[in-house]
Structure 1
Amino acid sequence: MASVSRADVYASRYPLLILQSAVLFPGNAVTLAIGRAEAFRAVELARQQQAALVVVVFADGRSGDQLVHQVGTLARVAEAQPQAGQRLQVRLEGLRRVRLLAVDMAGAAPQARVEQLLPNVTPAAFAAVERVRALAGELQRQLGLPDGETLRVLETTDDPDRFADLLATQLVRDLPYRQRLLELVDPLERLEQLAGLIERELARWRPVVEPPTAAGPVPSRPSAEPAALLDEANEAREEAERLRRRLAECGAPPAVVERIEQEIDRLARMPQSAAEATVARTYIETVLSIPWAVETPETVELARARAILERDHFGLEQVKERLLDYLAVRALTGEQSGSGTVLCLVGPPGVGKTSLARSIAEALGRRFVTVSLGGIRDEAEIRGHRRTYLGSYPGRIVEALRRAGTRNPVILLDELDKLATDYRGDPAAALLEVLDPEQNRHFVDHYLDVPLDLSRVLFIATANSLAPLPRPLRDRLEAIVIEGYTEDEKREIGRRHLLPRQLALHGLPERALELTDTAWHELIRGYTREAGVRELERQLAALCRKVAREMVERGLNANEGLPRRRVTPAVMRRYLGPAPYQELGVFPEPQVGVAYGLGATLLGGTLVPVEVLAMPGRGHLEVTGQAGEVLQESARAALSWVRAHAGHFGLAPDFAERMDLHVHLPEGALPKDGPSAGLALVVALVSALTGRPVRSDLAVTGEITLRGRVLPVGGLRQKVLAAQRAGLRGLLAPARNQAEVASLPATVTRRFTVHWVETVEQALELLLLAPPEQSSSGLLSPSSEGGVKAGKRSRSTEASRDANSQR
C-alpha cells in the first residue's frame, strides 16, 4: 500500500453532520433532506459561523449507538431551504478528506475535532488515470454509464485525486464500498479499485460467442444485473412518471410544459447520484412549485375596505381616500392586474406604509408577500441566476410567487429607494420589466428560462424618497405621499393601537397602564423625534417592561389583576430617564438678527433658527453651522438683495465693504442644506443691519430670487407641524404653496395662522418691528434717521403691539 501523507494536523472544531445513507466525496455535491434535530442544529451552526462542517456516516447505517466512521469529508453548505414538516433541504459541496480525532455530542450541536488527509500523488497515479479513462469510455459505450457529460469532464480532468472521486461518485452506489473508497487517501489505490471494478463489469456484460446454429450465431446475454453498479432504470422511470403527473396538474402554459418534458427525459437518462442530475431535479421541482394556474378570487367592497383602513390606521385621511378611489376603479372595471398603475407609498419611516399595503391586500381578499429590496446590488436578485452558475436560484419575484402560492398576490416591493448599483448590474433597471404591464406578461427569470405571466400580480412599492430612483422607474410609479402625523394623531394612534398591542405582547392586562394627557404630550415631544410612530411604540414597550417587572417582583400575574398604573410625567421620567430630545426653544421677546426658519427631514419637520451678527470689518460673509452648498448660495443671494436695496432700509451704499457678517445656524452638529432658508436669511440680515427686532411668534420659509420673489418650497406640512410643536403661532410661507393648506389637519389650522407672501417686502413688513430706540450705529446713511417710511413704521409698530398682546 502506498504511503499516505497527512498534513495540517490541528485541533480545529467543526459542526458534525452524521448521515445514514450518503457518502460525500471531495469535489462533488449532494442535495439532502435533513429532518433529525441534531443534524438540523449542525447545519444551522455552520451557517451562523460561516464555516465548513464535517460529514460522516454512521458505522452500521443506524443512528442508535452514535458510532460513526472515522474518515469523512469537510464540506461547505452551498444552499439551505426550509421544507414542510420541520425539514431542511441542504446542498453540500465536498472540500477535502478529514479524519476525526474527537467527537463532542454534548453541546447544542454535534462537533468534531479533525485532521486533514492530503493525497500523495505519484507518477504511477497519472498513468493509472489514462487507463481508467479508457475503461470508463468503453463502459459508457456498452452500458451508458457514466453519463456523457460526466465522461466529458473526466476527459478533461488530469488530477488523479479529483478523477478518482468523480468516477467513484458516478459508478459506485453500494454505501460500504463508497465508504471504503473514501478511506483510501492514496488516489492510485482508488484508481486501481475502480479499474478492477469496471473490468469485471465489462467482462460480465461482454457478449460470449457460441457455436453457430442453423439460425445463425446467438450471442449470450448476462443472467444477472451488475453487482456493484446500481441499475437505476426503475427508480428513474418512477421519478419521471411522478414529475410528469405533477407537470400535467400544475397548469403551466404549453411552452413551459414542452420545456419541462425535455428536462424530465434528460433527467431520466442520468445516474441518480450525478451532480448534473441534482441540478436538473432542483430546476424541475422549482418550475413545478410555481402557482401557474392557482388564483385567489378578488372581492372589492368599498364599505369593507373603508372599515379595514379605519380599523388599522388613524389619520391619513387623504391617503385613505386615494386608496378607496383606486379600489373603486377596480370594482368598476373588474381589473385583475392593476395595469398602468403601480402605487408607491412614499414617506418617512414608521408612518404605516407597509401596513397600508397589507390592508389593501386584505380588502381585496388577496394573499400578501413582501420583497425587501434594501441593499440589493445584483441584478440577478431580481431576474435570477442562470443555471450555469454554481448555487444558482430564481430571483426574488419568483420566490415571492412561490411563497404566496397564487399567481395574483399583492407583492410589496419594500424600500425601493434603497436599491444600489455596482459592476454586477442595475437592479432598478431589472424592475422596469417587472412593473411594466406591457412587458411583465412574458417576464423571463434567468433561472427558469421560460416566460412567466406577472400581469395578475398587484405590485405596491414603498420608499422614503423618490429622489434616488432612476427617472424611467419613477415614471412607472404613482406616488402617494405620507408626510407624517400630527401630535394629536400620534396620541390617538398610541392610545388605540400601540399601547394595547404592547400590553398584550408583555402579558399585561388590557387596562394595566394609563397615560395622562400631559404624559402623552411629554412622551411624544421629549422622548421621540420622528414623523412616524415607531420610536413611540418602543418607548411604550419600555413602559410596559417596567410595569411587568413590578408585577413579577410583587408576585402577581395577569389573572390576579394588577392595579392600574397611572403614568404622569414624573412617573415617566422615573421609568424612562430624562427626556433625550429638547426643542430648540424660541426667545420670549423679539430679537434683533434672529429669524426662525424651518427644515424638513426624514424624521419630520424641524425648527432652524437663523442668527446674524454685523460687526466692523472688510466685507466678509461667513456661514457656520454645517451649512450645505445650496444654503450658502442662498446666504449670498440674500446679502446681494439687501445690498441692492440698501437705500430703502437707510443703509449706507458701501455698508457691505465696511463690515463683516456672520450667519450661524444653531445645532451645528446637524448638517443643513436647501434653498428654503433664503427668506429667513433676508429677514435676519435686514434685522441685524437695521436694528429692527424680528417677531418671535412667527416662523418663515421660502426660497428667494435676486428680484425679491418668494418661490415655493417642499415639505410644508412637516414644517407647519414643527412650527406648532415649537410653540409658534403662525408661519410665513410662499403664496404658491397655498394649495397645500388642504393637506393640513383641521386641528392644526384652527390654532395656527399661515401668512402667504409673494415678495420679500411683504415678509419684511409682517416680521420686522420698529426698533426699540433710535441709535447711531454707523451703518445708516447720514441723510436717513430711521431708514423706513413713516407708514411702514406705523404698521410695524401695530404688528409689534399685536404680537405683544397675543403673548
Structure 2
Amino acid sequence: MIEPVSPPRVNGIDDESHIPNDLPILPLRGVVVYPMMWLPLTIGQERSIRLIESAADDSRVIGLVTSRDPEKEEPTPADLYEIGTAAVVHRLLRAPDGTIRLIVQGLERIRVTRYIQEEPFLRARVMAAVDEEEDSVEIEALSRNAQDLFRRLIQLVPHLPDELEMAAMNVEDARQLVYLIASSLRLDLADAQEILEINHVRDKLTKLNALLSKELEVLELGRKIQSEAQNEMEKMQREFYLREQLKAIQKELGEEDEQAAEVKDLEERIAKAGMPEEAQKEAKRELDRLRKMPPQAAEYGVIKTYLDWIVSLPWQQVTEDNLDIVHARQVLDEDHYDLKEIKERILEFLAVRKLRVERKGQFTLEDEHPDLIRKQREGVILCFVGPPGVGKTSLGLSIARALGRKFVRLALGGIHDEAEVRGFRRTYIGSMPGRILQMLRRVESRNPVFMLDEVDKLGRDFRGDPSAALLEVLDPEQNSEFRDHYLDVPFDLSQVIFITTANWLETIPEPLLDRMEILQLSGYTELEKVKIAQGYLIPRQLRENSLHASEVAFDEGALHRMISDHTREAGVRSLERQIGKICRKIATRAAEQGSNGNGTLPSVTIMAENLAEHLGKAKFYNEVAERTDRPGVATGLAVTAVGGDILFIEATRMAGTKGFTVTGQLGEVMKESAQAALSYVRSVSRELGVDEDFFSKSDIHLHIPAGAVPKDGPSAGVTMATALASLLTGRLVRSNVAMTGEITLRGQVLPIGGLKEKALAASRAGLDTVIMPKRNEPDLDELPDEVRQKMRFVLVESVSDVFNAALEPAGTRDHDASPDQTVVGEIAV
C-alpha cells in the first residue's frame, strides 16, 4: 500500500522563480526535466531517499541533473551534465517496497558551478540560467510550425492523447511550448539534453522543429508500410474469397478450375504412361499431395515438376528393330570401310534378336535351360577403343541406322559430378534428373543406341566419381532397375544399346571395364586410307564445299603422297582436313575466275607432282636411316593414345667409373627395363667381344627423345639392349628393322601388347622388318593382309636372337664410328 506523505510548507520561498544558490542535486538516469513541466519520479537509492527526506523538511527545492551514462547506478559529479533544472517537490508517496514516488515541478534552468558535498547526498553551488526570449515574427512562425508538426504527430502516435494537442494549441509562451512538446516526445537523451542546454528560445524552436520533422517522416513511412502490408493482406484475402466463389460457380456450372484441370490432366497422363507398379504408386501418391495443396504453396511447383518428368519419360515407347541382316550389312558397309569385327558383332546381335522374335510362342527356351540367377538381357554394352580418327563415334550412328533405332550421344569428357549421371535429389532447389534420363526423354524412346563418348576422360573430385555412377548403368544385370536420384523409382535401361568410346583403356576403372565388351579399333594402313579417302572422305568434302565430282579429281598417287608426306596418323581425320583444304583452294580460285557458261567449273586433277602447289612442302619424311647411321642404332615401336608410333633413343659413352644415367621423362617401369638391359649386356660382354675393363672406365648415358613426352612400359627392353650392344661393339643396327619386346635378366624375350598398332606404325615409317616375341605370333592374324605381305616378322625367344637379327657385321657401312660416339635408337613403350 502506498502511503501519502503531506509535504511541509515551503520555507523562505515566496516566489518559485527565486532559486537558492545552494541546492541538493538529485541525479536522473535516462530522463530530462524541463522548467514549467510536471513529472512523476520514483526514488529507490538510499542516497536519493535521504536527499528527498532532507528537502521535504527544508524548502522542497532540489536540483535535477541528468547523468551522462544511464546505466551507471550511482553517478559521481563528473558523470553529470552541467545544465539541469531546479524543481519543487509537490507530493511524496512512500511505497511498501521502500521506494518514494514524488511529483516535481520544474522551476528554472540552473548551471552547476561546483559540488560542495557528496555524502550523504550530492549538494552543489548553482546559478540560475534563464532562457533568452524575444517577441518576433520569427519566433511566432517557428512556434506555429512546431504546433502544426506536433498536431500531425499526435494523429500518428496512438499513445499521445488528444488533450495534449489542445494544450499545445493554447500555449502562447514560446518557451513553454518548447518544453511541453519536448517532454511529450520520445527523444534521445542527447537531443533532450541539448534542447535544455540551448540558451535562446529561437534556437530551441529550430532544433525542436528539426526533431519533429524527422520523427514525423519516420512515422509516416511506417504508416505507409503498414498500410501497404494491410492492403496486400486484404488483396490476398479478397483473391482467396473470389477463388472460392469461382470454384463454387464452376461447380454449379459443371466446370473445373485451373488446379483441378492440371490434376485431371496429370491423372490421365499417369494412366497412359504405362509405368511399372512402383513408379505408378509413387506418382499417384504425389498426385494426391498435389490435389490437397493450394497452388500458392512453395512445394506445389516442386511436385508438379516431378510429375511432369515422371509422366514424360518413355516407359513403353520403343522403336521396332529392323531385323533384315542384308540391309544392316549394307548400311554398315556404306558408312565404314573394313571394321569387320565390329560389323560381325552387330550382325550377331541382330541375328539373335531375329531368332527370338521368330521363335516366340513356339517354345520357351527358359523351360529347356532354366536360369534362376541371371535375367534375360536385351541391351548390349560395347566399348570401342582406338586412336582418334578411326570412326568410333560415327560408328554408333551407323549402328542406329542399321537397326532402325534412334541415336543419342552423351560426351563424358570432363564430367566431374556424379549427379550429372544419376541426377540430383529433390531436396535441392532446381534439382532435375541425370543426363541419362534427360536424353531418353528427349529422344522419346527407351531402346535407342546410346553412345557414351570419351569414357576414359571422366573426372573425379569432391563432388563424386561419375565412373562409379556408370557401374549400374552399364551392367546388364542391374540396369533393368536403374534408379535416378531425382525420380527414385526404377527405370528399365536393359533395352538400350550402350556404346562407349575410349582412346586408352588404362584410365578406365577396372570394375567399369569389366562390364563392357571391348572391341579394339586399330589404325589404318596406307592402302586402307586410300580406299577410305576415295569412298568416303572425298565425296563428303566435295559436298561440304559445294563442288561437283566432275570438277575435282584426286589421283591415287596424290593420295599416297598425301598420306606419307603430309599426314602421319592412325586415323583419317588429318587426311580429311588436307582433302578439304585442297577443295577450298579450288573453290576460292573458281570464285575468283568465274565458272563456264553451263555453270560448272573447269575440271582439276590433283596429281602427286602438283600436290605441293596446294599443300606446301612435305611435313614428314623417313628419318630412320638418317638417325641410325651410327653404331648402336635400334629401331623400336611404341603404342600411345593416338595409335602406334616410333621413338628414338640416344646413348653415349664417356670416361668414368661405371655410371649409368637414363633420361627422357621415363616412368619407373621403363627405368627398370633400362637397368635390366644394361645388366644383361654386361653379363654377355665377353660373348660380344667387349673389353672386360670397358665398364670400369666408362659412364653410359641413355636418352630417349622426345624429352617432353612421358613414356613408360616394359616393352622397350630389347631395343635398349640392342642399342647398348651396338654402342659397345661398334656394330650398326639395320636401318630397316624395328623391334619390340620385354626382356629378363636371363635374356628371355617376353610378349607385349599392341602388336597391331606397332606393326602399322612401322609400316607408316617405311620399315619392312619387325623383330617381335615368338609368343606374340598368334597376334599376327589381326594384321591386315597388306601389312603381312609387304613386311617381314622375325620371331625371337632370346636377346641373342635379337642381336643376330638386328646387328650388322662391323664395318658394313661407311660410318663405322668408335664405341664412344652418340647412338640413336627407337624403343617400344
What range describes the TM-score normalised by the shorter chain of this pair? Answer: 0.5 to 0.7
Contact 2:658-2:698 within 8 A present in 1 as well: yes
Distance 1:517 1:530 in 2: 19
Aligned partner letter, 1:442: E
Listed one character per residue, the Cα deviations across residues 106-148 of structure 1 (whole Å, up to 9, x for unaligned) are: xxxxxxxxxxxxxxxxxxxxx9xxxxxxxxxxxxxxxxxxxxx
Alignment of 1:243-642 (within 5 A): 243-272=266-295, 274-334=297-357, 338-339=377-378, 341-556=380-595, 560-569=599-608, 571-587=610-626, 591-642=630-681
Cα 1:574/1:450, change in 2 over 3 Å: same
Aligned partner letter, 2:797: E
**TM-score of the two chains, using structure 1 as the length reference:** 0.67
Give the drift of 1:511. Answer: 3.2
Listed one character per residue, the Cα deviations across residues 17-53 of structure 1 (whole Å, up to 9, x for unaligned) are: xxxxxxxxxxxxxxxxxxxxxxxxxxxxxxxxxxxxx
Give the drift of 1:299. Answer: 3.0
Cα 1:778/1:320, change in 2 over 3 Å: closer
Q: Which has the larger radius of gyration?
A: 2
Give the drift of 1:583. Answer: 4.4
Contact 1:594-1:684 within 8 A present in 2 as well: yes
Distance 1:187 1:461 in 2: 65
Give the drift of 1:453. Answer: 1.4
Distance 1:286 1:224 in 2: 30
Distance 1:273 1:548 in 2: 63
Give the drift of 1:556. Answer: 2.8
* Residue 787 (structure 2) aligns with: 748
* Residue 193 (structure 1) aligns with: 228
Cα 1:559/1:542, change in 2 over 3 Å: farther
Distance 1:581 1:590 in 2: 19
Contact 1:379-1:427 within 8 A present in 2 as well: yes
Distance 1:464 1:381 in 2: 22
Listed one character per residue, the Cα deviations across residues 663-706 of structure 1 (whole Å, up to 9, x for unaligned) are: 23344444433222210111111111112222112111111111
Listed one character per residue, the Cα deviations across residues 324-368 of structure 1 (whole Å, up to 9, x for unaligned) are: 334333333459985585211111111111222222222222211
- Count of residues paired in the alignment: 578
Aligned partner letter, 2:313: I
Give the drift of 1:752. Answer: 0.6
Give the drift of 1:773. Answer: 8.6
Alignment of 1:25-44 (within 5 A): none
Cα 1:357/1:558, change in 2 over 3 Å: farther
Give the drift of 1:199. Answer: 4.7
Aligned partner letter, 1:198: M
Cα 1:556/1:281, change in 2 over 3 Å: farther
Give the drift of 1:297. Answer: 1.5
Cα 1:304/1:272, change in 2 over 3 Å: same
Give the drift of 1:372. Answer: 1.6
1:658 aligns with 2:681: no
Listed one character per residue, the Cα deviations across residues 245-300 of structure 1 (whole Å, up to 9, x for unaligned) are: 22222212233223222323333444445543332222211111111111211232
Alignment of 1:641-720 (within 5 A): 641-720=680-759
Give the drift of 1:197. Answer: 4.4
* Residue 734 (structure 1) aligns with: 773
Aligned partner letter, 1:416: V
Give the drift of 1:488. Answer: 1.0
Contact 1:591-1:696 within 8 A present in 2 as well: no
Contact 1:734-1:756 within 8 A present in 2 as well: yes
Give the drift of 1:530. Answer: 2.2
Aligned partner letter, 2:233: I
- Secondary structure of the equivalent of 1:595? coil
Distance 1:573 1:239 in 2: 69
* Residue 12 (structure 2) aligns with: none
- Secondary structure of the equivalent of 2:564? helix
- Secondary structure of the equivalent of 2:634? strand
Distance 1:322 1:515 in 2: 34
1:238 to 242, 247, 261: 261
Listed one character per residue, the Cα deviations across residues 407-445 of structure 1 (whole Å, up to 9, x for unaligned) are: 211211111111111111111111111122222222111
Give the drift of 1:205. Answer: 9.2
Listed one character per residue, the Cα deviations across residues 207-253 of structure 1 (whole Å, up to 9, x for unaligned) are: xxxxxxxxxxxxxx9988999xxxx9711111111222222222122
Contact 1:638-1:682 within 8 A present in 2 as well: yes
Aligned partner letter, 1:195: Q
Cα 1:276/1:490, change in 2 over 3 Å: same
Cα 1:629/1:269, change in 2 over 3 Å: same
Listed one character per residue, the Cα deviations across residues 372-408 of structure 1 (whole Å, up to 9, x for unaligned) are: 2111111111111111112211111101211221121
- Secondary structure of the equivalent of 2:427? coil
* Residue 47 (structure 1) aligns with: none
Aligned partner letter, 1:293: Q
Contact 2:741-2:750 within 8 A present in 1 as well: yes
Distance 1:389 1:652 in 2: 77
Query: More deviation in 732-741 or 631-640?
Result: 631-640
Contact 2:772-2:793 within 8 A present in 1 as well: yes
Contact 1:412-1:460 within 8 A present in 2 as well: yes
Cα 1:428/1:667, change in 2 over 3 Å: closer
Aligned partner letter, 1:373: L
Contact 2:747-2:800 within 8 A present in 1 as well: yes
Cα 1:517/1:401, change in 2 over 3 Å: same
Cα 1:205/1:419, change in 2 over 3 Å: closer
Give the drift of 1:603. Answer: 2.3
Contact 1:594-1:694 within 8 A present in 2 as well: yes
Cα 1:583/1:263, change in 2 over 3 Å: farther
Aligned partner letter, 2:727: A
Give the drift of 1:779. Answer: 8.8
Give the drift of 1:627. Answer: 3.6
Contact 2:387-2:503 within 8 A present in 1 as well: yes
Cα 1:330/1:338, change in 2 over 3 Å: farther
Distance 2:404 2:645 in 1: 40
Alignment of 1:749-788 (within 5 A): 749-772=788-811
Cα 1:580/1:669, change in 2 over 3 Å: farther
Give the root-mean-square deviation of aligned CA atoms. 3.3
Aligned partner letter, 2:305: T
